[in-house]
Amino acid sequence: MVDSQYYLPNDIGVSALHCGEAFHLLSPQEKMYAHYLSRAAWYGGLVVLLQTSPESADIFVLLQRIFRKQTPAQLEQVATAAGLSSEEYQAFLVYAAGLYANMGNYKSFGDTKFIPNLPKDKLKALVRASQAFQDQPAEMEALWDSCSCLLYSLENKQKQLGLGDKGITTYFSGNCCLEDAELTQKFLDSKVNCTVEGECESCCGSFNFEDKEFTVKRGDYGPLMEKVCSYLQQAQTYAANDNQRKMLEEYRRSFTFGSVDAHKEGSRYWIKDKGPIVESYIGFIESYRDPFGSRGEFEGFVAVVNKAMSERFARLVSSAEVLLPELPWPKEFEKDTFLKPDFTSLDVLTFAGSGIPAGINIPNYDDIRQSEGFKNVSLGNVLAVAYATQKEKLTFLEEEDKDLFIKWKGPSFEVQVGLHELLGHGSGKLFVQDDNGKFNFDQSKMMNPETGEVVSSWYRGSETWDSKFTTIASSYEECRAECVGLYLCLNKQVLSIFGHEDKDAEDVVYINWLSMVRAGLLGLEFYTPESKSWRQAHMQARFVILRVLLEAGEGLVGLKEVTGQDGKPDARITLDRSKIHTVGKNAIHRFLRKLQVFKSTADVEGGRALYDNYSTVDNGGAHDFLRLRETVLLRKEDRKMFVQANTRVSGDSVELVEYEGSAAGLIQSFTERFQDDAEQLEADLLALRKRDAPCWC
């Protein structure tokens, strides 16, 4: 029997991400703009296959070839004739949908491998019986042989993404360890980014660094980037203003020449494009899945503004300068001026990449965020679907909390996302000494509030938050933002902005905090005891917060192991709502100040010691977290998968093509998404995979 965490259950939630209402309100020009941006995003999103695992691209092509010839409904008869039961065929459809939704065979949330929940010989029989195999037996046999072993492999290293012995990664070659990654980062920090075509020679070639030879080449993902640039160029024709046109021009330059500086320049124009009807962002953005925490995974999104919800976020932005001083660190540790960002609620039309978040705060370039600004985005139609909860699937809560939880989970999460993105990621100053020796703070007088002494460390030159804090940077920053959300949701003004007053406001606070401590317990699913490592930044952050609030004592949080009604191990988590504003607030105040001080002062040693301590999962102390992890795995519910629409140009207009919320609907959306140039695209993906293959030996 395979451990259930390594396959997707047949009854996994699959929901259509509805955006028809918002899309149909767009003008013809806006629809064209959205269409070509979406096409760019979808083709760029295929890069994630190559960024995830050595076998992901081959599996994707195998599935595409099968489903291009036969729809899921047509293939079902073939499956039955090949000896598959209806449950086994459904398991195959769920696996295929999972690969498309995660853009690879590792879960985007948790980085765990998933394999088909049917015997390998049954899947092989289905592949061989398919029309695609009948039409091209030699090619399909070769494709099956190239990926079938890894498709099912659950050797220890194959079970999760990671560096060296801890897992699989395609960000580094198979022989790289943490020391190699650290040396590589030092080398990269020493190089100036290539910005224009004429400077190619300065960043490509062979270099000697600390007695090691580094060879720098360009051209990764070339055929895919060419498609992205082509569609971005077509989108430019329909741009609403010069900022959008210049933004897209810089993105094209970035993807053509591999220039980070060009992408930063495009991001500057993006920030200046205030309140667009069609919002988008594209590029190598989030570094969660690089085991070293530095390289960005490709993503691209296109979304339409939800005006009613955006008005609430605009009021939150207007209140930001009043709320920032409420945060528990000295004003010198806050940015010199708060650059009011755009903060909009969007209905997603397209989100290409490994997964879809509920909120985004971008760009991730610290120098731009600190001095020029950023944008906040809340994805309204994602929130509406992702956090709808059925009572019978609500684990680890007391019965009397469940109805309240279901009623207020959505509204409370909306508050948390707003605070997390705007005042969490948007707050706090980094102390920097630039390449010219100039400081952005008074280093002779700046006092560290934790030690009472003058600040003795800071960021120097090209150092960034990610390059300094590396492996803990993503999770640490998510934890800081989550703590800001918990802390400021206690503010009545904040609750009033979101329309919550009196008893309702207190219920929102209670469920927000209860949801956080429950999420901390659920986070144990994403911890790997064998390597003592966390596989998901947000869930590690929530576990850390649970530990902090348990440590606060005084009966604030209760966590006990019990036996469930089914006779199997279970757990109950409780929160004393009368102590949130006192014991809870004080605990978060103390912890959040520490997080910010270590971050501001680039104190990696202090920050890592603090964060690693609270991230520890063991069986010592008052709670056996290793045993609780087994209980969490026993009762876990897999995250929903989203079926997204396609757009299609028909004459002078753009059609929106929507699909049913099922595994078959998700599969159909992907086969139709790339039908215009399917054979060439699949050949390109296989060639790119083959080019990288020597790195994994």
Residues labelled catalytic: 421
Tell me if 573 sits within 8 A of 464, measured CB to CB. no
Q: Is 24 annotated as a binding residue?
A: no
Inter-residue contact 332 to 510 (CB < 8 Å): no
Residue with tokens 């008893």: 503
- Distances in Å between the Cα of 635 and the Cα atoms of 493, 534, 628 are 38, 19, 11
Beta bridge partners of 15: 642
**Cα 646–652–655 angle (5° rounding)?**
20
Whether residue 415 contacts residue 508, with contact meaning beta carbons closer than 8 Å, is answered with: yes
In the chain, the amino acid numbered 37 is L
- Cα–Cα distance between 649 and 653 in angstroms, integer? 6
Q: What are phi and psi of 378, to 5 degrees?
A: -110, 130
Instruction: Give the bridge partners for 302, in sequence order.
Output: 280, 350
> 566-595 burial, b if ≥16 CB within 10 A, otherwise e?
eeebbbbbbbebebbeebbbebbeebbbbb
Q: How far apart are CA 558 and CA 401, in angstroms?
A: 14
Six-digit token string for 223: 């055929």
N-term to C-term CA, the chain: 29
Handedness of CA 623, 629, 634, 635 (dihedral sign): positive
Q: Is 572 helix (H, G, I), strand (E, B) or coil?
A: strand
CA-derived radius of gyration, the chain: 25
Instruction: Say whether 478 counts as a known binding-site residue.
Output: yes
Q: Which residues contact 377 (CB under 8 A, 6 or more apart)?
A: 279, 303, 343, 344, 345, 346, 359, 360, 361, 362, 421
Q: Is 425 annotated as a binding residue?
A: yes
Name, in order, each residue with C-beta under 8 angstroms of 75's C-beta and a sequence gap of 6 or more. 66, 67, 126, 130
CA dist., res. 223 & res. 240, Å (int): 28
Q: How far is residue 398's CA from residue 407's CA, in Å, rounded to a whole number?
A: 15
- Give the three-state DSSP class for 302: strand
Rounded Cα–Cα distance for residues 254 and 644 (Å): 27
Residue 386's nearest CA partner among 642, 158, 566 is 642
Amino acid at 269: Y
Give the pair of three-digit tokens for residue 364.
């991730």
How many C-alpha atoms does 471 have within 13 Å on its Cβ side? 17
Angle between helix 502-522 and helix 537-551 axes, rounded to 10 deg: 110
Determine the Cα angle at 170 with ends 166 and 174, to 5°. Answer: 60
Rounded CA-CA distance 629/616 in Å is 13
Q: Which residues are annotated as a binding site for Zn(2+)?
A: 420, 425, 478
